[in-house]
Amino acid sequence: MSDQLVNVLDWIAILCILAGAMLSFVAAVGLVRFPDLLSRMHAAAKPQVLGLLLVLVGIALRLVPQEDTGTFSVGTLLLVGLFQVVTVPVAGHIAARVGYRTGRIREDLVVTDELADRLDTKRRAEAAQKSGGSTA
Amino acid sequence: MNDLNTRKKQGVRAFRHRLGKVQIPVALGMTVVWMLLFDGFQPRTESLGIALLGFTVSVAIMMVFPLPPIVPGFRFWPVQGVRMFFYVLVKMAVASFQVTAQVFRPGPPVKSSVVSVRLRTDSDLMLVCTAITVSVIPGSVIVEVAQPEHVLYVHVLGAESEAEAEKAKEDILELEERIVRALGTRENIAELEAAQAAGKGNT
């Protein structure tokens, strides 16, 4: 590869890594500024995913022209990105679900809540079942 | 002696049973991951060995920890798949900026909503794909999944009015449509289109 192209790729890589770092910074600020658990989850999990992906792209762009085997090392980066994207939602979902069900949620900040109705009817049905059935 | 023979037969039968649970496409996928881990795609002689070892390990894992098969499976539609990929990327970028703006917005804390979205396809795989993509896009977290009814309860950051909550719902439904069109089987797509036609007739 020509020197010029490598230079251009380097600059793009630097921009990508910088943008990724900025997004992670935003996530950190959001963690401090947001008021309740669910909003914090947004800040903690999300801009950071895109941030990490951008950093990975940056590293890949630096790596590819490096050596003969550079292209193949990108495979590892691909795996990092893939597993990040697939696993972050699972962790986020569990934390959100537990937070919601244990009432760690500020009701004054939620405008419409369509899940509350469902949980209410469910709880009522369970309570009816318990009082109706035997104590054994 | 007889006892030993029957036990051997039982063992062989159990082995065959376990072997039947191995799903070749999944094993191939795991082999690809293995090869990526060990730089197996370089043109060298070891690569063949890495691939073979990876496949053996995948099969062994699937025999020790058998999983139910993915029903009804999926089908990749290349053009729609590429479109879906870029749609998600653009959405992620735009939503990141929105969340950034909300983070730095002065004044009272951001309000949000929990909305319920009923998915129109009946496949678990489509449900999982949609849920993961919704979670990856900033500004929305899945709080609860109602499994038999295929309803997602999504916490949307910054949806401060009914209209915005409604818009968030539409966004998720559009995302579902794109994912089904990219990865769904023919039946899934037919189901989606039928639901869409019915929805249009109602309103």
Burial of A67 (0-12, 13-18, 19+ CB in 10 A): exposed
At A18 the pLDDT is 92
| Of B19, B42, B64, the domain-final residue | B64
Angstrom distance (rounded) from CA A41 to CA A37: 6
Q: In this prediction, what percent of chain B has a pLDDT beyond 90?
A: 0
CB contact under 8 A, B135 and A45: yes
Give me the DSSP letters along A43-112: HHHHHHHHHHHHHHHHHHHHHTTTSTTHHHHHHHHHHHHHHHHHHHHHHHHHHHHHHHHTT-S-GGGEEE
Token pair listed for A87:
């696993």
**Domain co-membership, B101 together with B182:** yes
B153 touches chain A (CB under 8 A): yes
- Nearest of B159, B171, B172 to residue B114 by alpha carbon: B159
Query: Same domain, yes or no, for B60 and B82?
Result: no
Domain interval for residue B195: 78-202
> Which residue does chain A place closest to B158, by CA atoms?
A39
The reply to whether B120 and B168 lie within a common domain is yes
Decide which of B41, B64, B87 is a domain's last residue.
Answer: B64
Amino acid in position B36: L
Average pLDDT value for chain B: 81
Lowest mean pLDDT among A120-124, B28-32, B90-94: A120-124
Does residue B14 belong to the interface with chain A, where contact is any CB pair within 8 Å? Answer: no
The answer to whether residue B72 is domain-embedded is: no
Q: Give the phi and the psi of residue B29 in degrees, each rounded to 5.
A: -60, -45
Q: Of the candidates B100, B109, B153, which has its C-beta nearest A34's C-beta?
A: B109
Going by the DSSP 8-state scheme, the letter that residue B141 receives in this structure is: E
- Residues B60 and B109 reside in one and the same domain: no
Distance, in angstroms, between A58 CA and closest chain B CA?
16
Residue A63 CA to residue A71 CA, distance in Å, equals: 7
Q: Which residue of A has its CA nearest to B38?
A: A76
Minimal Cβ distance to B103: which of A29, A41, A79: A29
The residues, any chain, with a CB within 8 Å of residue B123's CB and separated by 6 or more, are B72, B184, B185, B188
Residues of chain A with C-beta less than 8 angstroms from the C-beta of B131 = 89, 93
ipTM surpasses cut 0.90: no
Q: At what angle do helices A37-63 and B124-136 cross, to 10 degrees?
A: 90
CA dihedral B147, B148, B151, B154 (to 10 degrees): -10
Closest CA to B51 of B62, B64, B41: B41
Q: Quote the pLDDT of residue A136.
A: 38
- Positions in chain A whose pLDDT score sits under 70: 1, 45-47, 66-72, 104-105, 107-115, 117, 130-136
Of B64, B95, B117, the last residue of a domain is B64
pLDDT of the residue at B200: 60
Assigned token pair, A49: 């995913």
Query: Residues of A with CB below 8 A from B157's CB?
Result: 38-39, 42
pTM of the full structure: 0.76
Answer for the pair A43, B99: CB distance below 8 angstroms, yes or no: yes
Using the structure block, give the residue that is written with the tokens 């793009």: A12
Q: Please report which confidence band the pLDDT of residue B191 belongs to, taking 50, 70 and 90 as the band edges.
A: confident
Per-residue model confidence as pLDDT tens digits over B103-114: 888 877 777 788
Q: Tell me which amino acid residue A5 is.
A: L
Question: Residue B203 — very low, low, confident or very high, per pLDDT cuts 50/70/90?
Answer: very low
Q: Are B155 and B165 in contact (CB under 8 A)?
A: no
For every residue of B63-124, DSSP letters joined together read HHS-----SS-----HHHHHHHHHHHHHHHHHHHHHHHHHHH--SSPPPEEEEEEE-S---H
Interface check B36 vs A, CB under 8 A: yes
Interface test with A, best of B31, B41, B94, B96 (most A CBs within 10 A): B96
Closest approach of chain A CAs to the CA of B17, in angstroms? 31
Tell me if A89 and B135 make a contact (CB, 8 A cut-off). yes
Contact B103 A46 (CB under 8 A): no
Query: Residues near B151 by Cβ (< 8 Å), separated by ≥ 6?
Result: B116, B117, B118, B119, B145
* Whether B103 and B192 share a structural domain: yes
List the single residue in A36, A42, A79 with the smallest CB-CB distance to B99: A42
pLDDT for position A66: 67
**CA atoms of A11 and B122, how far apart (whole Å):** 47
* Average pLDDT of the residues in B137-157: 81
Give SS3 for B157.
strand
For residue range B119-128, what is the model confidence (pLDDT) as tens digits?
887 777 888 8
Q: Which of residues 12-31 of A touch B (CB under 8 A)?
A: 23, 26, 29-30
In chain A, residues with a C-beta closer than 8 Å to the C-beta of B117 are none
CA distance A19 to B100: 12
Is the minimum CB–CB distance between B95 and chain A shorter than 8 Å? yes
Total domains in chain B come to 2
Judgement on whether residues B97 and B145 belong to the same structural domain of the protein: yes
Q: What is the pLDDT of residue A108?
A: 65
Q: Is residue B71 part of a domain?
A: no
